[in-house]
Amino acid sequence: MPYLNLKMTKEDGGATTEQKAALIAGFTKVFVEIMGRGQKTMVVTIDEVHTDNYGIGGEQVTEIRKK
């Protein structure tokens, strides 16, 4: 029942299905090992965000990637 949301930029076509499966499995494993619950109920959602819609230090990631 713990809930985890990840936001990451969508780069070079985005994460593969296998990478997403590994993120979901990995985050859940970390939580279960540390907190001792959530093995069957932890929910994970992943938002891939266009680099135009993602900024760091006031700058679009699209621009940062051009440098």
Residues identified as active-site: 2
> What's the burial of 16, exposed, middle or buried (CB within 10 Å: 0-12/13-18/19+)?
exposed
CA distance 24 to 15: 12
The mark string for 1-40 relative to a copy of itself (x by CB under 8 A, - otherwise) is xxxxxxxxx-----x-x-xxxxxxxxxxxxxxxxx--xxx
Least Cβ distance, residue 10 to a copy of itself (angstroms): 11
Relative to beta strand 3-9, strand 43-49 is: parallel
For position 65 contacting a copy of itself by CB under 8 A, the verdict is no
Contact residues: a copy of itself, CB under 8 A:
1-9, 15, 17, 19-35, 38-49, 52-63
